[in-house]
Chain A
Amino acid sequence: MSLNVDKELAELKAKVESASGTGNKLTMIVFSGDLDRQLAAMIIATGAAAMGMQVVLFFTFWGTAALRDPKQRVNGKNLISKMFGFMLPKGRNALKLSQMHMAGMGTAMLKGLMKKKNVASLDQLYEVAAQLAVKIYICEMSMNLMGFKKEEMIQYPNLEVCGVATMLAHAKESALQFFI
């Protein structure tokens, strides 16, 4: 008798766990282009993937600049797009701290400290994220606004461009939704 109850409980548990809205998934919106916030985003993303979660990142607004590849040059931009391209960081290694940047001194000091204390850099975190199949989407509208083209974005497995509906569809079936 008690065995049956255990079995039914296990079946019920499996049903609840597979129900929509409670999926073993994390959806994160990476809005900020600040180094500290981007670091937090990648640490949470890789940590969640290590915890067995499916992880989906949506880079939007200032966050999109972190996905630029500094080696890529794109032609055919208008003056405003060129200006945005010049003003915004060229990739994750050009990001600044949200506080204590101090004309580059603070950011350089933090990067030095991270190396000394063996904290993973953004480069290492992206590599791990790719290994753990963390999915990255870029907001099409943000790219369009800032004049970024897909060709100037980093090489990352299955990097895709999307709109708000894709993000919402993922968020709806995620157990966790973060905005950074």
Chain B
Amino acid sequence: MAEYTVTKTLDYKGLACPMPVVKISQQIGTVSVGEVIEVHTTDPGSLADFPAWAKTMGHAIVETKQEPGVIKIFVKRMK
């Protein structure tokens, strides 16, 4: 996996569709281009939705980790 450092960590645990995607869309502009946001979610739909959102918006998912009780998604602002 590509090397990166996390600039910001956001806790979206407990939130259901569509809130995780709505919230990341509001937060992505708070970091600079090239920086990575780490998102913690418990919504299994986010596994499909974050890549779909990133593809549409021109951002990148650099890594996804499934840990017991939490899904960690690393979103890189690309533009």
Residues of A within 8 A of B (CB): 43, 46-47, 49-52, 117-120, 128, 131-132
Contact = CB atoms under 8 A, between A and B. Distances in A.
A51 B22 CA distance: 8
Contacts of B21: 47, 50-51
A128 B22 contact: yes
A51 B57 CA distance: 6
Contacts of A49: 22, 25
Contact of A47 (B15, B22, B57): B22
Nearest to A48: B18
Given A50-B25, A51-B25, A51-B56, A118 B16 contact: yes
Contact of A50 (B14, B15, B16, B18): B18
A51 B19 CA distance: 12
Given A49-B25, A51-B25, A132-B22, 15 more contacts: A43-B18, A47-B18, A47-B21, A47-B22, A49-B22, A50-B25, A50-B26, A51-B21, A51-B53, A51-B57, A52-B25, A52-B56, A118-B15, A118-B16, A120-B19
B17 A131 contact: no
A49 B18 CA distance: 11
A131 B26 contact: yes
Nearest to A51: B56
23 contacts: A46-B22, A47-B18, A47-B21, A47-B22, A49-B22, A50-B21, A50-B24, A51-B25, A51-B56, A51-B57, A52-B25, A52-B56, A117-B16, A118-B14, A118-B16, A119-B16, A119-B17, A120-B18, A128-B19, A128-B22, A131-B26, A132-B22, A132-B25
B17 to A, nearest CB: 7
A43 B16 CA distance: 11
Nearest to A117: B16
A117 B17 CA distance: 11
A55 to B, nearest CB: 12
Contact of A43 (B15, B17, B26): B17
Interface in B27-79: 53, 56-57
A8 to B, nearest CB: 20
